[in-house]
Amino acid sequence: MVRAIRGATQIDSDDREAILSAVTELVSEVMSRNELTTDDVISVIFTSTPDLTSEFPALAARKLGFHDVPLICASEIDVPGALPRVVRLMAHVESDRPRQQIHHVYLRGAVALRVDIAQ
C-alpha cells in the first residue's frame, strides 16, 4: 500500500547548517518511527517558509542516502502570522501499516502545527 507521512520542524535561523541539521533530524525520525528504508520511499515533497533561503531541504535527504528517490522543494504560501522558519515534508512510502499506525513527526516548534497528529 502507498501511505503519505507528514512531518515538520522549525529551524533556529536561516543558516545552511541549521537547515541541514534540522531536516536531517526530521527525515531520520520519520524513517525510524515508521521502520522504513530508502527502498520503501517513493518520493518526498519538501516545503519551506519564505524566510528560509540558505539551502534546499532536500539536500539533507540526499546526504542520508536518498540518491534515487525523487525529491522536490517548494515554498509555502506566505500567510501573515504563520509560524516562521518551518520546513515541512510529505513522504509517499510503500508500507503494510494501516493508516492509523503511520507516525507523523513534528519536531521543535513545529509541534504546534499539528498537535492532533504529532507523535
15, 74, 82 from 90: Cα distances, Å: 22, 12, 19
Residue in 3, 55, 85, 106 annotated catalytic: 106
* Residue 94 annotated as catalytic: no
Residue in 3, 6, 55, 85 annotated catalytic: 6
Residue in 33, 97, 108, 114 annotated catalytic: 114
> Which residue has cell 543558516?
15
* Residue 88 annotated as catalytic: yes
DSSP secondary structure string for all residues of 48-62: E-TT--SS-THHHHH
Query: What gap in Å lies between CA 72 and CA 56, rounded to an integer?
Result: 9
* Residue 62 annotated as catalytic: yes
* Residue 73 annotated as catalytic: yes
Query: What gap in Å lies between CA 95 and CA 110, rounded to an integer?
Result: 25
* Residue 16 annotated as catalytic: no
* Residue 33 annotated as catalytic: no
Residue in 25, 29, 33, 76 annotated catalytic: 76
* Residue 25 annotated as catalytic: no
- At residue 51, φ and ψ (nearest 5 deg) are -85, 5
Residue in 17, 25, 62, 97 annotated catalytic: 62
Residue in 25, 29, 33, 73 annotated catalytic: 73
- 3-state class (DSSP) for residue 64: coil
Question: Which sequence positions are flagged as catalytic?
Answer: 6, 62, 73, 76, 88, 106, 114
